[in-house]
Structure 1
Amino acid sequence: METINKLEVRNLVMQDYLELRASMVEAYTGIEDAPWKQSEISKLLSLFPDGQLVVLVDDKVVGCALSIIVDHSIVDQNHTYEQITGSYTFSTHNPDGNILYGIDVFIHPKYRGLRLGRRLYEKRKELTEQLNLKSIMFAGRIPNYSKYANEITPKAYIEKVKMKELFDPVLAFQLSNDFHVKKIMKNYLEGDIHSLEYAVLMEWNNIYYDQSPKLINLEKSVVRLGLIQWQMRPLKNLESLFDQAEFFIDAVSGYGSDFALFPELFIAPLMADYNHLNEADAIRELAKYTEPIYQKFQEFAISYNINIITGSMPHIVDGNLYNSGFLCKRDGSSEMYTKIHITPNEVAHWGMKGGDQIKTFDTDCGKIGIMICYDVEFPELSRIMADQGMQLLFVPFLTDTQNGYTRVKSCAQARAIENECYVVIAGCVGNLPKVNNMDIQYAQAAVLTPSDFAFPNDGIKAQATPNTEMTLIVDVNLDLLKELHQYGSVRVLKDRRHDLYKVVHKQQDDL
């Protein structure tokens, strides 16, 4: 896959037409009159601009989803594509209707396999909720049916696709996006020889629909976290690590997680090949894997539509060895963070140096902070981040004994209380006997909270089973933090005595 630097889903504008048409030509190869005319796109934009979506990769249009609003009574009847679009005039669009009707979705062939179509569908669902519409409906083609038409009926074909006995690229995609089959329609799209002009009327129901319109909070308040408690195990090569990491990313993204958190130095098993070297040389050899791992995780973030915090890995800059990680965002961008406080062990065995940047990161789920293991034991860092608006603090860690883990967890709980934020910790478990200085690990991943009535009594939202490989999926409500800040039993951030003390953030130029 080519490197993607930026990915965006937004509303279509008329200036996109030439790129839109070029992608349509590639997507609909072999179908006559497939590209939408400029006048048709212009008409759609004048009638319903919010319903026309495009996905861009590096500012180039590579996919599109077009829709109109119709009344349920029209869709429920048998209809053809020409009828539902008003012979392509879109005279059927009714702003007072209650159904979002999809009239087209496509992705440029070069960018298929990255789940970009799923992103367009998710935006359609968000729009349906925002407009308080009853459901999304459309008639989907079944392009592989012509291969089996002499053997089975359309109804039997649909059942076999549902049971994964047969594969249909369009129908399988719709079913995986929570659409259900309403009925089969004949003669839907004239000239569709692959589907034999059959179509399947599909529907996705908006569970928040209310016949009496009401305002819907458009701001994302509930964030889903995926914590990965990683088992240290021998790995044959880099591909083995990618396979294991992708398994977990697939799992947590399958539950709709917004973030996946990996532990500190979870890539250490790859150091086994260098066990004949001294520890300082071995970890520098391990650092050679950092760049390809970062690139692969950036690809995973896009493909699985999830923000990934890559734990940490050794990173060499200008000959100096650091403990760094990457925030790989699902929009294709990424940022690096570096461990600031280095443990005596890391200095003595590996010759590591500490970073010099304290910063927060903007994400599609709000502002977050990231600190690596030992850093969480220094309260000044998180206080500075809290002053910058941080609501979620992620702490990938690696501890060999329960004593070390207790320090990390206890300090993380304190950071949650004093900074009125959620703290998310994840570490490695198990043994790694053939890697020097990485023999044993102890961990219990957890999501820690402030201590007030809206939160768990013990300040623990959820925690994993100790020393067992597993994932932890946890929802956190950011609105509760806002309420705590204003109305909490104690208001730690508000009640600080700035007249007596303050935490000063020295800028890099001042160091």
Structure 2
Amino acid sequence: MEVYRMRKQMIVYAEGKPVEIVIRNYTQSDFAGMIAIQEACFPPPFPSELWWNEAQLREHVARFPEGAICAERDGRLIGSITGLRVDDAQLAGSHSWESITDGGYIRNHAPDGDTLYIVDICVVPEMRKSGVGKWLMQSMYETVVHLGLKRLLGGGRMPGYHRYADSVSPDEYLAGIVAGRYNDPVISFLLRCGRMPVGTAEHYLEDEQSCDYAALMEWRNPFMR
């Protein structure tokens, strides 16, 4: 099967100034840069063993290279987004990030699956308000359309939920974000990217701020009924 490779140039605004970036698929030669993104985004005391490792990255580029995308500025990687294809059987019932992504190794990638599931999205701190994250997400939407998939899906952290957990359920909190009663940095970002909520998942990820919950957010291919 022919591998679809993405590469596009664009201008984003960093600190009010236009800068050129490239969005493309990452390859084995980018592994050091991919790990450097993780280090910049999750510095100590965050445990380094939870960053991407080379074994995981090798699986990404071997099993589903179309779902391995990075952003580059002046030769330096500044962001990435990774996905895999899953089928309806894998999504039946409840799931956690660990189970649906194979702990980030994506060895459970289903080549015929019609859902592109997001494993991770990450942008270095100094570029986070420049729109890079939104363009990375848009690039995954383009991958969904190009491959003729049904939708994109993924679990989003709800880091603001701990402030309201004593009084509202996770589903009520998610509905409140959509209604404008609450502002959540992650879920509000996903809404601005065009993702729509389809429910919440318990015990999705060990995350004190989200009380271990996540919002399941999808983007449906507009060219498929």
- Which TM-score band applies after superposition, normalised by the shorter structure? 0.7 to 0.9
- Say whether the 8 Å CA contact 1:4–1:57 is kept in structure 2: no
User: What TM-score do the two structures reach when normalised by structure 2?
Assistant: 0.87
**Greater RCO (Cα-Cα under 8 Å, separation 6 or more):** 2
1:143 and 2:159 aligned: yes
2:200 alignment partner in structure 1 = 184
Corresponding residue for residue 47 of structure 1? 63
TM-score by length of 1: 0.39
**For the structure 1 residues 177 and 5, does the alpha-carbon distance in structure 2 shift closer, same or farther, using more than 3 Å as the test?**
closer
Larger radius of gyration: 1
Letter in 1 for 2:217: M
**Aligned counterparts of 2:66 and 2:138: Cα–Cα separation in 1:** 14
Are the aligned partners of 1:128 and 1:134 in contact in 2 as well (CA < 8 Å)? yes
User: Does 2:225 match 1:200?
Assistant: no
- Structure 2 contact 157–214 (Cα < 8 Å) conserved: yes
Q: Are 1:79 and 2:81 an aligned pair?
A: no
Of residues 27, 32, 35, the one that matches 1:21 is 35
Poorly superposed stretches of 4+, deviation over 2 Å = 1-6, 28-34, 86-89
Is 1:122 the counterpart of 2:143 in the alignment?
Answer: no
Using a 3 Å threshold, how does the CA distance of structure 1 residues 78 and 31 change in structure 2: closer, same or farther? farther
**Aligned residue identity for 1:123:** S
Provide the C-alpha distance between the structure 2 equivalents of 1:100 and 1:60, rounded to a whole number of angstroms: 27
Task: Classify 1:178/1:6 alpha carbon distance in 2 versus 1 (closer, same or farther; 3 Å).
Answer: closer
2:99 equivalent to 1:112: no
Distance of 2:86 and 2:50 partners within structure 1: 23
- In 2, the alpha carbon distance for the partners of 1:59 and 1:105 equals 19
**Deviation per CA, 1:421-465, whole angstroms, max 9, x where unpaired?**
xxxxxxxxxxxxxxxxxxxxxxxxxxxxxxxxxxxxxxxxxxxxx
SS in 2 for 1:26: helix
Post-superposition offset of 1:5: 4.5
Q: Any stretches of 5+ residues in structure 1 without a counterpart?
A: 211-511
Q: Which residue is 2:3 aligned to?
A: none
Match of 2:83 in 1: 67
Per-residue CA distance 1:175-227 (angstroms, 9 max, x = gap)? 112211111110011x21111110111111102137xxxxxxxxxxxxxxxxx
Whole-Å Cα distance in 1 between the matches of residues 147 and 194 of structure 2?
19
**Alignment RMSD, CA only?**
1.7
Q: 1:50 & 1:87 partners in 2: Cα distance? A: 19
- Aligned to 1:85, the other structure's residue is in SS state helix
1:171 has 2:187 as partner: yes
Match status 1:161 vs 2:177: yes
Q: Distance in 1 between matches of 2:135 and 2:18?
A: 16
1:449-460, aligned counterparts within 5 Å?
none
Structure 1 Cα separation of the partners of residues 35 and 98 of structure 2: 20
Identity %: 26
Question: Is 1:10 aligned to 2:24, yes or no?
Answer: yes
Distance in 2 between the 1:60 and 1:123 partners? Answer: 19
CA distance in 2, matches of 1:14, 1:4: 29
Q: Deviations over 1:25-52 (max 9, x none)?
A: 2223454343111110011111011110
Whether the aligned pair in 2 keeps the contact of 1:5 and 1:58 (CA below 8 Å) is no
1:400 aligned residue = none
CA distance in 2, matches of 1:184, 1:143: 13
Q: Within 1, Cα distance between the matches of 2:72 and 2:134?
A: 14
